[in-house]
Amino acid sequence: MINIAICDDDKEIIDALKEAISLYSQEHSVEYDVHSFRCGEKLLETKINFDLIFLDIEMTGIDGLTTAQMFRQIDKKARIVYVTNHSECALKSYSVHPFDFVVKPFKSERIFSVLDELSHYLSENAEKEAVIQLKGEDGPLLLSLKSIYVFEYTGNRRITVYTKDDKFRIKGGLSDILHLSTQKALFLPIRAL
């Protein structure tokens, strides 16, 4: 699931972006969870990690550039696409590292282009995702570091590894996991029973 935020004080723009994202989702079989905010303050209050944010530069209350600067203190990974009526605002936006820039009014194809770029970017980074090799009970086990939640020592030199979707039994002790953590900068929760 790809999380997208739309932050704009114009409901018609929010609706147009949602419609374009929905069309793209249907055509490309990609699932998006879209959240909309009518002001920067509401976006900053959320606890959701977004993959992409469509952010209006000129809004009532906190403007988009200030919102982006404050958001970057919370989340440096979200890709920000500035949406504005004035193309001359593009230069100012580069201090907050935009992913793209969309000028209003826009056509759905322009949003499709942004979503194509996002898909390409996410798939490229997924290929670079770090994995760890562990001694599984039935042989070598490769797991994505991002998917591991906790290592639980269950006695007799056996550890249960809990991931997002499953759990695995591996051979070894907590000292083996701690040794891996110093080699690979792996800092994950470890608990003993």
The CATH number assigned to the domain with range 2-127 reads 3.40.50.2300
Per-residue pLDDT of 81-131, as tens digits, reads 999 887 666 556 666 778 999 999 999 999 999 999 998 888 776 655 666
> What is the arithmetic mean of pLDDT over 65-79?
91
Q: Is 191 helix (H, G, I), strand (E, B) or coil?
A: strand
The CATH number assigned to the domain with range 131-192 reads 2.40.50
Q: Are 152 and 160 in contact (CB under 8 A)?
A: yes
50/3 Cα distance (integer angstroms): 5
Q: Partners of 141 in the beta sheet? A: 134
Confidence of residue 42 (pLDDT cuts 50, 70, 90): very high
Confidence of residue 79 (pLDDT cuts 50, 70, 90): very high
- Cis preceding linkage at 105, omega within 30: yes
Lowest mean pLDDT among 30-34, 76-80, 139-143: 139-143
185/28 Cα distance (integer angstroms): 37
The domains spanning 2-127 and 131-192 adopt the same CATH topology = no
Listed by start position, the domains of the chain span 2-127, 131-192
Per-residue pLDDT of 126-183, as tens digits, reads 655 666 777 777 777 777 777 888 888 888 888 888 888 888 888 888 787 777 655 5
> Residue 91 has what pLDDT?
58
Pairing of strands 139-144, 158-163: unpaired
> Residue 130 has what pLDDT?
67
Q: Are 173 and 157 in contact (CB under 8 A)?
A: yes
